[in-house]
Structures are given as structure tokens and as C-alpha cells.
Amino acid sequence: MRAVLAILRREVQACFVSPVAYVFMVAFLGIMAYGFNVGLQFYARMPPLLAEQSEASLRTHVIGGPRGIIGWAQTAILLSLPGLSMRLFSEERRSGTIELLLTSPLTPAQLVAGKFLGALAVFACILVLTLPLVGVVAWKGDPEWGPTGTAYAGIFLFGAVVLAMGVFASALTESQFVALVVTYTILTPLLAIRFLVGMLGNPWDDILMGLSLRHALRQFGVGLVDTHYLVLFGTLMGGFLFLTARVLDSRRWS
């Protein structure tokens, strides 16, 4: 456990001294702030009658609604998290420090856990920095805290899945760029799946909908925590982390 914490801590420190990491963090926060502003204007201009018909409060929509920051968070996650995770193992392989890690008394699972939790901690820090946006909503209005909370939980879980894929991709190669490309290659089908819904009819539509990460995130945004999607997120995360440990264990280093 101490070893896992040591790796986690080192990962977070390495991230905060790396200029590349700051670029991705700033990009994330920039997208979120811009999206918040766009959403705010959209909902502010909405005719009062339409607003009344809407089930959830409009102020909550600014966070988790169809035009809320949750949609922008998805974009921000897709653009910045693969950039944060690509470094994790590929940099260790390039610099040779992987030899230190793999000759230390650590199981592959401990190593992967340390790296993944480190990246997740950095992501959590970034999310904390977006909380002032929620603060603005709370200050000027009266958001429903339930859906706001599930929206953030959804963003966090979605980010964790993307990071797990990124950890896996970075264990495959010593090139950060290749790791980045592999991450997007894995992600794209799971996001694009939604566009197929409605083309094949049932039961395919239900199955595809059930696998769509975009749809899952939308559900969280409106306060629906579907165990089905929790299982989807959990399976993807666990699956990719398991594969990462297998890759490290097979140790085909030259």
C-alpha cells in the first residue's frame, strides 16, 4: 500500500512540474469556462414559458442539462486527458526508469494502481478547479444539488474510463505520441456508437444505447444514476487496468 501511495505521489508531483501537463490543464479549464458562459447565455435567453415546461430547474441545466457544462466536460476530457495519460508508462520506458519499477518488489497490479490513481488525483484536482462555476450558480440561483452531484460523478467516472484507456495505451509503447493515437483509437468506437442508434432497429438499438458512453454521461447529467451504466464504466475501467497489468507482466522489453 505504501508503495502504491509512493508511486501516486510521485506521479502527481511529476505532473505539476511538467509544462505539458499545465497546457492540458489550462485547456481543460478554458473549455469548461467557455462552455459555462455559452450555456448560461443559452438558458438566459430561453422564453419563460419554455423554461417552465422544463422538468429540472434551468439553473441545474447549466451544469448537467443538454447545453450544460457536462457536455463541454466531455469535450474537455477527450481533448486533455489522453494528453495527461500518454506519459504515464511510455515515459518510464523511454527513460529506462521502468527497469527500476519492474525490479522493485511491486506486483504489476500495485504499479498500475499507483499510476492510475496518480492520474485520477490530478484529474480530481482539475475538477475541483471547476467548482467555482457551480459556485456562481449557487450564488445567483438555487440549483438542485442532486443532479449537480450526479453530473459531477458522471464527469469523474467518464474521465476515469478515459484515463484507464490512456494508461493501457501508454504501457504498450515508449512513444507518447503512439500512446495518444492508441487512446483515441480505443475511444472513438465507444463514442461513435450512438450515431448508429436508430439505424438497426431493436434489439440492436437498446444494446448500442447501453454501450454508448455519451448517452451514459447524459443520464448522469439529468440525475439518473443507472446501475447499468455504473457497471459499464466499472467494467471498462477494470478491464483496461487489468490488461495494463497483463502487458507489464508479459514484459516484452528489449
| Contact indicator for 34, 72 with CB cutoff of 8 Å | yes
Three-class DSSP labels, 124-163: HHHHHHCHHHHHHHHHHCCCCHHHHHHHHHHHHHHHHHHH
Total binding residues toward other proteins, as defined by CB under 8 A: 26
All cell numbers assigned to 169: 495505451
Interface with other proteins by CB under 8 A: which range of 2-10, 47-55, 120-128, 180-188? 2-10
246 binds other proteins (CB under 8 A): no
* Region binding other proteins by CB under 8 A among candidate stretches 97-105, 131-139, 177-185, 204-212: 97-105
Q: Which of 29, 33, 38, 102 binds other proteins (CB under 8 A)?
A: 102
The residues, any chain, with a CB within 8 Å of residue 172's CB and separated by 6 or more, are 178, 179, 182, 247
Q: Is residue 100 a contact residue for other proteins (CB under 8 A)?
A: yes
* Among residues 70, 73, 106, 213, the one that binds other proteins under rule CB under 8 A: 106
Distance CA 161, CA 139 (A): 32
Q: Say which residues have a Cβ less than 8 Å from residue 204's Cβ, sequence separation at least 6.
A: 196
Cα 229 from Cα 211, distance rounded (Å): 8
Contact stretch for other proteins (CB under 8 A) within 25-33, 44-52, 56-64, 95-103: 95-103
Binding mask 6-45 toward other proteins (x if CB under 8 A, else -) reads: xx-xx--xx--xx---------------------------
Helix (H) or strand (E) holding 46: none
Residue 102 or residue 225: which is nearer to other proteins going by CB? 102
Shortest distance, CB of residue 10 to other proteins, whole angstroms? 5
**Which grid cell is 241?**
487496468
Interface residue with other proteins among 41, 54, 107, 185 (CB under 8 A) is 107
Cell of 41: 447565455
Q: Which stretch binds other proteins (CB under 8 A): 21-29, 96-104, 115-123, 142-150?
A: 96-104
Say how many Å lie between the first and final Cα of the chain, rounded: 30
* Interaction site with other proteins (CB under 8 A): 2-3, 5-7, 9-10, 13-14, 17-18, 95-107, 251, 253
